[in-house]
Every structure is written in C-alpha cells, then in structure tokens.
Amino acid sequence: MLELTVEDVAGHKTRDDLWVIIHGKVYDVTKYIRDHPGGADVLLDVAGTDATAAYEDAGHSEDAEEIMQTYLVGTLKDATQFVRKAAVRVVQQTVQPVVESKPSSQIRKVAAAGSVAGLLSLVYYASSRRGSSHLPEALHHIQAHLPGLNRLLPSAMTDTRSPYGGFINGFAAAALLSAIIGGVAGMQLSKLTHIDSGFTRYPPRIKCKPSPKADPHSIPGFLNPKDYKTLPLVQKDLLAPNVYRFVFKLPAPTDVVGLPVGQHVAIKATVNGQSVSRSYTPTSNNLDRGYLELVIKCYPDGLLTGQYLANLQVGEKVHFRGPKGAMKYKRNLCKKIGMIAGGTGITPMYQLIRAICEDERDTTEISLVYANRSEGDILLREELEAFARRYPKQFTLYYMLDVAPEDWKYGTGYVTPEVMAARLPKPAADTKVFLCGPPGMINAAKKGLVSLGFEAPGAVGRMTDQIFCF
C-alpha cells in the first residue's frame, strides 16, 4: 500500500480528482461524489485535506466505514492519532424543598388516649377522696370515646355498684386503667412503624391484563447485525432499464428476515480483488415468510451493482448483514408523513407505505411525490397504485416526470417548493417528511422544504428530524 504525504494528497482537490485523509488513511472518493448522502459540496469542502474532524462530527455509521474500504489508496506518512475535544459538562445542583411533616390522625388519637389516661387517674383520685357519685358518668363518657375500653377494663371498675372505695382502691384502679390505655397506645404506634412486606400482604390472586399483540415487524429473524450470512438467489426479474428485482430464499418457508420497518441490509462481495459493501432497503418485510426481496438499479459503472449484481445468476449465494439504519418506524410515529422519492429511492418508502396501510391500527396519513425521468422508469407502480385505490383516505400518490407522454395526468419537471406545498402536508409538530433519491435531488428538496417552514436536518439522519433522509 502506498505511503503518501500531506502534500501528495493536497494535489487532488477537484471534482474530477478528489482525495481525502481520514484517520491516517488516504481515500480517492472521486467516483463516490454523486452517491454521497450529504451531497458533493460536503466532499469538495474537504478535498485534498485531512477530513477526520469533519468525518467524526458528522457521526458516520458502520455503512460508511465499509464503503470507505473500496476507495482506500494508501496511508499517510507521519500520521498522528485524532483526539476528539472533551466536552465540558455543567452540572447544576438542585435544592430539594423541605417538606414539613404533620402528625397523622392515628398519632393524634394515641396522644389523646394518653391524656384520657391521666384525666381518668385524677377522676379516680377525686372520687375516692370525696366519695363522688360522678364517677360512673366519667367512665361512661370516656368509654364513648374509646369503644374498645369495655373489653379491657375489669368488670368491677365499670360496675357502679362496686364496693370499691377509698383512696387506695381508687388510686389502684386508676393506675391499672392507665396501664391498659398505655398498652393500647403502644399497639397503635407499633402498627404505624411496622412495614408490610413479602407475599402475605398481597391477595392470593392478581388479575393480569392480557399483553398487547406483538408487532410482527419487531420479531427477530434470519439477519444478524454483526455477521454476514448467505442466501441463494431464486428469482431475478428486469423491471426497467438496469433495474432488477432480486428474490432470495430463506432457509425455511416459515422463516422471516427479521427486518424492522425502515431498516436496510448490507450486501458484501469481492469484486476484482476488492471487498465491496453497499446497503439496500428490501421491498419485502416480516409478513413475507420464506424470502427476501430487493429492487436495485445496477449502474453499468458500479463496482457492486454493475459488475456483480447485474451478472448474478439464479442459484448463486449472496452475503447479507443487518438490520441497519437510523430509521426505526413505530406505529403512529406522527399524524402525517410526506415522502419525496426518486428512482430506486422508492424502496424504503414502499416498505413504510406497506407497513402503515396493512396495519389497521396505524392511522398515519401518507402523501408521496415520486419523481422519475420517464414513465417506463416508474418502479412498483402497480403495487403503489393498488394501495392508493384501497386506502384513498390514508395514502395519496403523485408522479413527476422529466419527459411525460401527451396524456399524462400528473406533474412534469422538478419537484419544486410549489409542488411540495401543493402535494405534501404543511409543517407541523406532528408531521415529518422522508427523502430518498439521487443526491442532487435530495439537496434541492431539503432547501425547498426549509423554505416552506420545515426544520433543517443534520448531516446524519436522526429519527427526531422533521426532514429525514434515508
């Protein structure tokens, strides 16, 4: 492998000859300019320089690392290790409010019981001294406030005909009564401080609500996100010029691919001695058992598509890995979704349209603008129009062509902001727009949507973005 200097790389900084340095390695990305998700301008800004910092700031995925290996031309002489600047984190201390505790009603009752005990002692004392006839009335009054007293007091103390008298008898009775009430108070306090725990504090049976039905698109299946696995090609159909439908057979007829809605798979192959990897979104999903289906445009000059997939024969095996991608769609993610697709960029859109329309619990409204050069280039047309007929209130479809026939009832030309305003939902907190297609078209669509009031997305697509780019 070549060892290059910074000066060597600096001489390759044009659109037709573009090199960059990333983590001490030199890449010739001239042929990748048109396919770069961030657009050609992003690469031109760092042409001929060390682009490590920009690469890291953009937060590239594993896909990018695999793609880069295709364009590796050498290493940088005297390269230094890239060190990301540490982020400063500000920690704010919060003061917890002091909550003034109030005695519970039970504690107040216990305190009152103690006061009654002391009062009763005085009553007995006074009665024994003066032989008062008011003792029965005092007892009855106290018993009315302490209903459990009858069970605890000796019958002689509640009997008004009792022969007890005198100071000593009265004092002894009062002391006994005070002890009994103190015991009651102790039991109440014990209940307050006792912590119930263990299975005995729960009823013997607990009714459980039935768990909701599992989402079929979240079921794991054949794919593995870390390791490549092989599948044989069983069907290959030409849908349009250089566009093929590939059908691969899973190990068993009941197997599922294990691909969440919005995710894609990576295909790896060795072409001309080079290891090449690219990512594609299947048009099949977990409802399609026993097979994996892909619609791919094979560019004549493409290393993986033109030289490998275009020549792939039925029976040959292909290496797959996944699921991959930032898109993880969930039912009713938002109220309305607008879609702009170009060419084979329809595949992730079709996957989402299928999942939403086929799920009776998903009420999301979808508006698709699908752009192509000619009518013959429209992919999955029958399937898309079938969904539009079957779910007219949920899915609307509008085509745009560069060259249209005379009786064409849809749009012609570019997907302009005027077309977007007329055919897509308006900007709102519960609205998203998804984009997939050629980089030039996507960059223009981003600018048009931002001019209409949508929030500009970051360099790397995230589910929180109002404009999401596949």
Residue 288 φ then ψ, to 5°: -100, 100
Sequence-ordered alpha helix ranges (H) in 2-51: 6-10, 40-45
Do the bridges between strand 365-372 and strand 467-469 make them parallel or antiparallel, or are there none, so unpaired?
unpaired
Residue from 452, 177, 271 nearest 169 by CA: 177
Q: How far apart are CA 451 and CA 445, in angstroms?
A: 10
Residue from 29, 34, 15 nearest 439 by CA: 34
Are the C-beta atoms of residues 60 and 27 closer than 8 Å to each other? Answer: no
Distance of CA 28 to CAs 4, 74, 287, 298, 386, Å?
12, 9, 41, 22, 44
Do the bridges between strand 317-324 and strand 291-297 make them parallel or antiparallel, or are there none, so unpaired?
unpaired
Q: How far apart are CA 9 and CA 20, in angstroms?
A: 7
Of these residues, 55, 71, 244, 280, which one is catalytic? 280
Q: Is 281 a catalytic residue?
A: yes
Q: Is 145 a catalytic residue?
A: no
Of these residues, 264, 305, 364, 431, which one is catalytic? 264
Q: Is 88 annotated as a binding residue?
A: no
Q: How far apart are CA 309 and CA 312, in angstroms?
A: 5
SS3 401: strand
Question: Residues 6 or more apart from 288 whose CB is under 8 A from it?
Answer: 256, 257
Q: How far apart are CA 191 and CA 105, in angstroms?
A: 13
Are the C-beta atoms of residues 299 and 242 closer than 8 Å to each other? Answer: yes
Q: How far apart are CA 269 and CA 298, in angstroms?
A: 15
Are the C-beta atoms of residues 402 and 410 closer than 8 Å to each other? Answer: no
Q: Is 329 annotated as a binding residue?
A: no
Distance of CA 5 to CAs 70, 94, 408, Å?
20, 53, 56
Enter the tokens of residue 53: 């910092």
Amino acid, res. 209: K
Among all chains, which residue has been given the structure tokens 């769609």? 329
Of these residues, 52, 70, 281, 283, which one is catalytic? 281
Straight-line distance from the first to the last Cα atom of the chain, in angstroms, rounded to the nearest whole number? 34
| Host H or E run for residue 236 | strand 229-240
Q: How far apart are CA 75 and CA 123, in angstroms?
A: 103
Of these residues, 298, 357, 436, 469, which one is catalytic? 436
Residue from 158, 179, 157, 176 nearest 113 by CA: 179
Q: Is 98 annotated as a binding residue?
A: no
Enter the tokens of residue 286: 């977990």
Q: Is 280 a catalytic residue?
A: yes
Are the C-beta atoms of residues 357 and 392 closer than 8 Å to each other? Answer: no
Q: Is 462 annotated as a binding residue?
A: no
Q: Is 36 a catalytic residue?
A: no
Q: Which residue positions form the known binding site for FAD?
A: 278, 280, 295, 297, 347
Q: Which residue positions form the known binding site?
A: 278, 280, 295, 297, 347
Hey, which residues are catalytic here?
Answer: 264, 280-281, 436
